[in-house]
């Protein structure tokens, strides 16, 4: 117990000393605050007011209005909810699948490992984005379908990471001791090995949230993601594209929201990786 507390304190110490990671954490917190404060936005994000269409940023409309007179600031706040929901649910699905398959392959080895890894190789042969496009083409575009599809097509990296960790940990003394006292395979996997193999998964999940947000934005921009009038940063960019010459704010602010969010998660993920890896900590 004391060793776990010491390791945890050492991890947070190195994470706090990494300025880029702290900058990423601040950006992530800002995005969470935006999503939390969305219900308190000064305007209804779905309220259409043609008399206020394409208003530039002002005191009444902080980030201006779109071609239907809807407040861009309110829509970006609600778009943050959509992006974070997609990111966390999709990564949660991918991580769960990757951990289960990677643990089975790494712990049992043999034909189970061969089958799982050949399936991983087959999935990696298809470009993920085009695979998502192909699947969505046969389904109704909705936020739930997008989250599930991104999750089902993004677990391969996690599976390979977990398998590699299990292969190196399954012959360690603490695992052999657990087998000696008659611990079941399930207990050994989830109680003894998995907690020691979770570090690279945490890094992968953090970076995966940024990737999922980018994929959702791209799908919404193409018109097969989150459907209007539900505000999404991706479908807001479509409006901005149509009025780029006269209403720059419609493209600039959603684009900046995507940039800041993805940058924040990438910086935080890199910082977590550095803090968890002693070799990277010592090279700093």
Statement: residue 22 has pLDDT above 60? yes
Question: HEC states along 38-97?
Answer: HHHCCCCCCCCCHHHCCCCCCCCCCCCECCCCCEHHHHHHHHHHHHHHHHHHHHHHHHHH
Range of the domain at 122: 24-37+59-283
- CATH number at 126 reads 1.10.3720.10
Alpha helices by DSSP H, listed for the chain, are 2-17, 19-37, 72-108, 110-125, 128-136, 143-152, 156-169, 173-180, 185-187, 194-222, 233-242, 249-276, 278-283
Tell me how many domains the chain contains. Answer: 1
Query: Is residue 183, in this structure, part of any structural domain at all?
Result: yes
- When mean pLDDT is compared across 84-93, 100-109, 197-206, 239-248, the lowest value belongs to 239-248
Percent of the chain with pLDDT over 90: 20
Query: Is residue 90, in this structure, part of any structural domain at all?
Result: yes
pLDDT band at 282 (very low <50, low <70, confident <90, very high): low
Residues 141-148, mean pLDDT to the nearest whole number: 84
**pTM listed for this prediction:** 0.86
Statement: residue 62 has pLDDT above 60? yes
What's the pLDDT score for residue 17?
84
CA dihedral 82, 258, 61, 223 (to 10 degrees): -60
Query: Is residue 48, in this structure, part of any structural domain at all?
Result: no
What's the pLDDT score for residue 93?
94
Statement: residue 137 has pLDDT above 90? no
Which of 171, 158, 199, 30 shows the shortest CA–CA distance to 109?
171
What's the pLDDT score for residue 277?
67
Angle formed by the axes of helices 143-152 and 128-136, to 10°?
A: 140
What's the pLDDT score for residue 1?
41
Query: Is residue 5, in this structure, part of any structural domain at all?
Result: no
């Amino acid at each position: 117990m004391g060793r776990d507390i010491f390791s945890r304190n050492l991890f947070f110490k190195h994470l706090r000393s990494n300025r880029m990671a702290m900058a990423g954490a601040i950006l992530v917190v800002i995005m969470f605050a935006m999503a939390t404060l969305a219900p308190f936005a000064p305007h209804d994000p779905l309220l259409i007011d043609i008399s206020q269409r394409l208003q530039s940023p002002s005191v009444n409309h902080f980030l201006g209005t779109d071609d239907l007179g809807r407040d861009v600031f309110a829509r970006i706040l609600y778009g943050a909810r959509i992006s974070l929901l997609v990111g966390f649910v999709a990564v949660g699905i991918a991580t769960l699948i990757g951990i289960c398959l990677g643990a089975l392959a790494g712990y049992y080895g043999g034909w189970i490992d061969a089958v799982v890894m050949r399936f991983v190789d087959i999935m990696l042969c298809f470009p993920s984005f085009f695979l998502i496009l192909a699947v969505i083409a046969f389904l109704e575009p909705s936020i739930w379908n997008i989250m599930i599809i991104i999750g089902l097509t993004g677990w391969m990296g996690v599976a390979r990471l977990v398998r590699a960790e299990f292969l190196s940990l399954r012959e360690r003394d603490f695992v052999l001791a657990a087998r000696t006292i008659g611990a079941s395979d399930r207990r050994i996997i989830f109680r003894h090995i998995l907690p020691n193999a979770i570090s690279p998964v945490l890094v992968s999940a953090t970076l995966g949230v940024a990737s999922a947000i980018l994929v959702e934005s791209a799908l919404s921009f193409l018109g097969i993601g989150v459907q209007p009038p539900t505000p999404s940063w991706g479908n807001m960019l479509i409006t901005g594209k149509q009025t780029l010459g006269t209403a720059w704010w419609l493209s600039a602010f959603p684009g900046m929201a995507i940039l800041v969010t993805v940058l924040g998660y990438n910086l935080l993920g890199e910082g977590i990786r550095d803090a968890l890896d002693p070799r990277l900590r010592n090279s700093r």
